[in-house]
Amino acid sequence: MASENPLLQFTVKKLVDLHIGGLDVSFTNASLFMVIAAVLITLFMVAAMRPKAIVPGRFQGAAELFYEFIDNMLLENIGVEGRRYFPFVFSIFMFVFFCNILGLVPVGPAESGFTVTSQIIVTFALALLVFVVVTVIGFMRNGLHFLRMFVPSGVPWPILPILVPIEVMSYFIRPVTLSVRLFANMVAGHVMLALFGGFVVGLSAFYVVPAVFPFAAIIAVLALELLIAALQAYVFAMLTCIYLNDAVHMAH
């Protein structure tokens, strides 16, 4: 956190150098934290749902809270039909949420865990997955009629040559906007934490009292980052639901 260069925390480091068929498939710190996130999610859900108590404990109550949260999100945005896509949206939400939180967990005296969602390639891969799944569902449910969503209803035909390319462009740009939103928020928040951490270390070396103010600012920024971590997972899942609704109910 107190690194001179706040961008060094986003450096991808090779842990196991591995090449297959000329391709670099090395196991990196980003890979490690994605595996940790997947393992933690699995352990959390298994441990939470094993008791199956009528009066839920802490873990079961937390798991049920996540379940009801995503279920309500699907019902509000898609309707009852949206429940068939619950496993997909729930998995996306939990993975993004845990990756965001893991990036804030201290792993050393001067650094926190690696933030996987601060890598544009990771967020773009997730966004591209959502884009492909939504497009496939759209064609499976509507056939070629799915292309009608690029033709706004009630628009005079002379204007269609202008609007249709705009609609197509806005559809295909979804993976970019979805990935950049998550990536930018994670990077900005961690850079702020690193800068305030540097201020605390620098000031505490000379004056104890002035260092209290940046330290308080770090606590405030950390609390804000926790909120943003949860909020960005929610936004990612919410937009996924909105895109699914377009595919299921045909927006136009």
pLDDT tens by residue, the chain, 252 residues:
444 677 777 888 888 888 888 788 888 989 999 999 999 999 999 888 887 766 677 778 888 899 999 999 999 999 999 999 999 999 999 999 999 999 888 765 455 678 899 999 999 999 999 999 999 999 999 888 888 888 877 778 888 888 889 999 999 999 999 999 999 988 888 887 777 766 666 665 555 556 666 667 778 778 888 898 999 999 999 999 999 999 998 754
Whole-angstrom distance, CA of residue 31 vs CA of residue 125 = 13
Record the pTM: 0.86
Q: Checking phi first, is residue 115 left (phi over 0); if not, alpha (psi -120 to 50) or beta?
A: beta
**126 close to 176: Cβ distance less than 8 angstroms:** no
Q: Is residue 1 part of a domain?
A: no
**41 close to 98: Cβ distance less than 8 angstroms:** yes
Q: Is residue 222 part of a domain?
A: yes
Q: Is residue 2 part of a domain?
A: no
CB atoms within 10 A of CB 46: 11
Residue 16 β-bridge partners: 27
Q: Is residue 86 part of a domain?
A: yes
Choose among 241, 250, 230: nearest CA to 74: 241
Q: Is residue 99 part of a domain?
A: yes
Whole-angstrom distance, CA of residue 134 vs CA of residue 116 = 24
Q: Is residue 164 part of a domain?
A: yes
Domains: count for the chain: 1
Residue 112 β-bridge partners: 106
- Which pLDDT belongs to residue 252? 46
- Domain hosting 173: range is 8-249
Q: Is residue 143 part of a domain?
A: yes
Tell me the CA distances in angstroms from 190 to 96, 116, 137, 205, one per residue in order. Answer: 16, 12, 36, 23
